[in-house]
Structure 1
Amino acid sequence: MLDAAVTSFPVPWKGIAQQLEKIQTAELPSIPSIAAKRLKHYLQVHKSQTGQSIISLYGASDDSRFTDFSGLQAQKVQLNITKEFYVGRWAGQVSANYERGGKKHFDESFIAYQFGDWNLRLGSISQWWGPAQSSSLILSNNARPIPALALSRSETTRSKHHLLSYLGPWFFTMQLGQLETERSVPDTKIWSSRFNFKPVSGLEIGLSWNAMWGGEGKGNSFSDFIDLVTFERDCINGAISCNNDLKSPIGNHLAGIDFSYSLIIFERPFSLYGQRIGEDKGDYLNVRDNANLVGLSSYFWGSKIYLETSDTNVACSNQGLPGNNCYYEHSTYTGGYRFYNRAIGSTFDSDADMLTLGINKQFSDGDLFEIMFNRLKLNQDKQQPSPVVSGNSEDIHRLSGFYQTQFGDWLVKLGANFEYTDLNLESKTESLIYANFKYKLN
């Protein structure tokens, strides 16, 4: 329906807006008609505003442990006040977050300037790279958004340039961010880039590359950055010179590919998708030590149903890291591929086997319902590589869901999670309920 690349979130309106305005929703089947009407509504709201103010209150019976594309990584209680603005080519928002204990931060705040087909942004916004809904192996909303300077294409549709048009719809972003001070190497920097495109109808391909580098006591100059992106190598034992088999590319690299292929079978839409992300320990583009995610989705009974599985139990070839306890880990950046102690990639962190069945229902009045079942196997070797698990192995059966509705200027989301966990010879049952209330001030 929409000729656009859509596996990098957030998806810019430019280009898509023009296509939406041409769609005749009355001529579409029920499910795509509801989706198109919903997008058209958001587009009209966006076009009619020069900015809006929103106040949001989130409360839960406990801190969230796992999240997903529709979820929220938050403490028990969080108050958020957001002010958006749009002036000419400028756009931005200030988002003030207040948590219990007096903690506050400005996640989801940014300022951006659009020039031509490009957008320059400074700030921290939640992003999701990949086609899956339960997790992403390289960048998800599991951790807090990373403050970064980003240069991105301002649309995801087909380029008008006669050479670039052969790529089909495409999107590109490159970002330079900085991680927190309270980690093993304070103020580590992170380079992120992604290119996703649709070379043929129904097929979208994404290429992603993130690399941690610099920080306190490390090289932080422009020449050090050039060494990073040109895959210069140094000795993993810290020596000035060593044999080639003791050398590794500078920084902590993760890179890989994802795809999504959509087709019609028996007059029903199906999507097959996958993601393969590895720790980049080889030379140049030789990505090794890969974790995988695979999924399938379709529509039944007016709902999107998806089945996904991923496995981050990876036996890495990097020296100095034991067994499977290496994915998202690094011998220099010992805090790992994490931000404030949560994985930047997979919701379930490393050494995790996941199977997810989800149902997502959008109603014609704009209400949204989702229910998800997870079967998780975490830390099977009991060596606790990730902060998300205890020192024990865990077999978890988890049921979660929410309902979201709108009353005038109020948006209300109510949800709950239930977990049954086997911990060696013990078992426990836990539950969490939460509510999120948003009110549009103007």
Structure 2
Amino acid sequence: MIKHISFSTVLVSLSLMCITTVKAEPWIDTSDIYLKANIQLLADAGFITTPTTTYPLMWHDINRDIKSLHAAALTKQQQNAFYYIKHQFKLAKRNQVRIKGQVGVEDTRFTSFGDSFRETNSLQIQTSTMIGNIASNVSFSYYPDAENKSDKKRWDNSYLAAFLGNWVVSVGKQDRWFGPTWDTSLSLTNNARPITALALTRKSAEPITVPFTEHQMPWTVTTFMGKMDDTRVVKDTLLWGFRFNFKPLKNLEFGITRIAQWGGEGRPQDLKTFWNVLIGKDNCGAGGLDCSGNNEPGNQQAGWDMRYSFNLFDTQMGLYGQYYAEDGANEGGLKMVTKAEVQGGFDMHIDIFSNPSTVFLEITDSYGDCNTGAGIGNCYYEHHIYKTGMRFEGRTIGNLYDNDAKSIVLGAISQINTNTRLTTKFHYLDLNYDNSDKAPDDPIIGNPLTSIAEEMVMLSSSVQHNYKNWRFTLGADISQSTFKNDLDKETDINASFTVEYNL
């Protein structure tokens, strides 16, 4: 039987493993959309060779590639990206203490890459330290308006990590993002709060040589095991995640993702059960698996994604897509990748009014009918045993817009000047468009966004400005929703303001 992980024991064990020297925070998190855009720009130009579609993203290879560049040989747009990345790495090399305060009109319904604001009004203090081969980040937040007393004090985004050769072992609560997307991802996003997890990640994407050729292919992998310890039908459900990335060409990247729920209170969670999950036998009857609902191994999603970049009319452009499946066929093995939904997008790096910008168009559909033929979804992110589904603390861990939703998002990520940046998005959303919910009266089962069909248009924007050790972020959005059930239209305006100080 797999016991509950004692994270205090793991923290002590990792702290004793001082072998090499850590010169910076291990990775880039999901909090900075501008850093992501600048890294992707240089990757599309061929200057950054490591895979870049999995976050947290290791600093090691990014810094190596940046150090090999000479600003004079770059275009103006590439120079802006080069200097921004260098500055962020310089900050990552320092032991830091940050204080952050946030106020808002109301909680946000969606949290995308680069968004740190989920709930109104919070105060956070964060300290990051590097000693020997150990890196730590302790982040404490206080939310005075949280409904539950236990949610007022949080340790989200805290971690302890140790370098072991070309591997990083970490434990903590980290936001993750799997896939080449900008606004949302079908697989794993930072929409929900991070769960406590033990993770293993390859530090450097050192390439392998393709057999019978001299071609080298960078690759990296990360895996984690976490516990979903919120209020849910199956308490303390275990969540296993796996992500493998490789670049067969400088301008082509592939990613393979698997996410599985298993174990938990009253459920089998021995090694044999996990092995069946690992090989895709997670449904009774799959590949000869003999079991009943009482000992069915788990709930799994799997899929792949790609990003292809190219230059057209001296403009860097990219095409990307994701094919992601919900709990596949009963045969197990590779046939687990069935009942899949598709996501696609296009982006390009251009100047808007002389401001370097990344512009993207992203289309997503998360409707799945589970072969009922009745035109009713309530399938994607759902499960008949793990009834709370792929959700944590009331939010889906994948698509921001949950299941049975279409989204079309046009966005621009712009650098106004050295200290000021702007993000703007226009959303067309068709939420829960099958007009049905698995359990409309149960707060921990079914679609948490809306129990009926909701069509929404939304304009959102945020501006960020740095002044010395201060950072100010002002965000606002306006949306209008119409409903199939002849309800009145709703217009909603939200705003937030964040102040950060780096001691």
Give the TM-score normalised by the residue count of structure 2. 0.82
Partner of residue 387, structure 1 = 447
1:90 aligns with 2:134: yes
Determine the structure 2 residue equivalent to 1:129.
178
2:307 aligns with one of 260, 264, 273: 260
Q: Matches of residues 89-128 of structure 1 in structure 2 within 5 Å?
A: 89-101=133-145, 103-128=152-177
> Larger deviation: 129-138 or 389-398?
389-398
* Partner of residue 438, structure 1: 500
More moved, 424-433 vs 185-194: 424-433
Do residues 195 (structure 1) and 275 (structure 2) align?
no
Distance 1:366 1:335, change over 3 A: same
Q: What is the aligned partner in structure 2 of residue 274 from structure 1?
A: 321
Equivalent pair of 2:209/2:216 in contact (CA under 8 Å): no
Question: 1:67: Cα distance to partner?
Answer: 2.0
CA distance in 1, matches of 2:278, 2:121: 40
Counterparts in 2 of 1:204 and 1:437: CA distance versus 1, 3 Å: same
- Alignment-derived partner of residue 291 in structure 1: 341
Match of 1:409 in 2: 469
| Partners of 1:113 and 1:121 within 8 A in 2 | yes
Q: CA deviation at 1:162?
A: 8.2
1:41 maps to 87
Deviations 1:37-82 (Å, cap 9, x if unpaired)? 10111222333x2x11111111110001012112125211111111
Q: Distance in 1 between matches of 2:283 and 2:175?
A: 33
CA deviations on 1:320-339 (whole Å, 9 max, x unpaired) are x9831100000000001101
Give the partner amino acid of 2:129: F
Which structure has more strand as a fraction of its residues? 1
Structure 1 residues 216 and 304: alpha-carbon distance in aligned structure 2, compared to 1, 3 A threshold: same
Which residues of 2 match residues 163-174 of structure 1 at below 5 A?
168-174=217-223
Question: What letter matches 1:175 in structure 2?
Answer: F
For residues 10-409 of structure 1, what are the structure 2 equivalents within 5 Å? 10-47=56-93, 49=94, 51-101=95-145, 103-156=152-205, 158-159=206-207, 168-232=217-281, 235=284, 250-282=297-329, 283-286=332-335, 287-301=337-351, 302-317=356-371, 323-385=376-438, 386-409=446-469
Secondary structure in 2 matching 1:285: helix
Using the TM superposition, name which of 372-381 and 37-46 deviates more: 37-46
1:90-115 Cα shifts (integer Å, max 9, x gaps): 00111111102451110100000001
**Mapped partners of 1:419, 1:373: distance in 2:** 10
Identity %: 31
Aligned counterparts of 2:333 and 2:372: Cα–Cα separation in 1 = 16
Instruction: Extract unaligned runs of 5+ from structure 1.
Output: none
CA distance in 2, matches of 1:76, 1:172: 35
The equivalent of 2:29 in structure 1 is: none
- TM-score (structure 1 length as normaliser): 0.92
Segments of 4+ in structure 1 off by > 4 A?
A: 160-167, 240-243, 246-249
Given that 1:188 and 1:214 are in contact with CA atoms closer than 8 Å, whether structure 2 keeps it comes out as: yes
TM-superposed deviation, 1:318: 8.0
Alignment-mate amino acid for residue 428 of structure 1: E
Seen in structure 2, the aligned counterparts of structure 1 residues 242 and 369 have a Cα distance that, compared at 3 Å, is closer
Q: Is the 8 A contact 1:248 1:281 kept in 2?
A: no
Q: Is the 8 A contact 1:249 1:281 kept in 2?
A: no
Q: Cα gap change, 1:295/1:110 in structure 2, threshold over 3 Å: closer, same or farther?
A: same
Distance 2:309 2:110 in 1: 28
Over 3 Å counting, the alpha-carbon distance change for 1:141 and 1:21 in structure 2 is same
Query: Partners in 2 of 1:90 and 1:428 — Cα distance?
Result: 50
Give secondary structure in 1 for the equivalent of 2:489. Answer: strand
Structure 1 190/242 Cα, relative in aligned 2: closer, same or farther at 3 Å? closer
In 2, the alpha carbon distance for the partners of 1:22 and 1:181 equals: 45
Following superposition, the deviation at residue 390 of structure 1 comes to: 2.7
| Alpha-carbon distance in structure 1 between the residues aligned to 2:416 and 2:135 | 31
Q: Is the 8 A contact 2:50 2:219 kept in 1?
A: yes
Contact 2:111 2:118 survives alignment (8 Å): no
Contact 2:361 2:408 in 1 (8 A): yes
> Greater shift after overlay, 127-136 or 322-331?
322-331
After superposition, the C-alpha distances for 1:170-226 in whole angstroms (9 at most, x for unaligned) are 220011111024100000001100001111120000000010000000112223222
Alignment partner, residue 420 of structure 1:
480
Matched AA of 2:348: S
CA distance in 1, matches of 2:483, 2:376: 21
Contact kept in structure 2, 1:159 and 1:165, CA below 8 Å: no
Q: Would the alpha carbon gap of residues 207 and 358 (structure 1) be closer, same or farther in structure 2, given more than 3 Å must change?
A: same
How far, CA to CA, are the matches of 2:215 and 2:295 in structure 1?
37
Distance 1:366 1:2, change over 3 A: farther
Count matched residues.
Answer: 432
The CA deviation at 1:384 is 2.4
Contact 1:370 1:402 in 2 (8 A): yes
Q: What is the Cα-based RMSD across aligned positions, in Å?
A: 2.4
Cα distance, 1:387 vs. partner?
3.3
Please give the alpha-carbon distance, in whole angstroms, between the structure 1 residues aligned to 2:257 and 2:207.
21
Give the Å deviation of 1:281.
2.2
CA distance in 2, matches of 1:248, 1:232: 12
- Indicate conservation of the 8 Å contact 1:232/1:249, yes or no: no
Contact 1:371 1:402 (C-alpha < 8 Å) held by counterparts: yes
CA contact (8 A) 1:234 1:248 kept: no
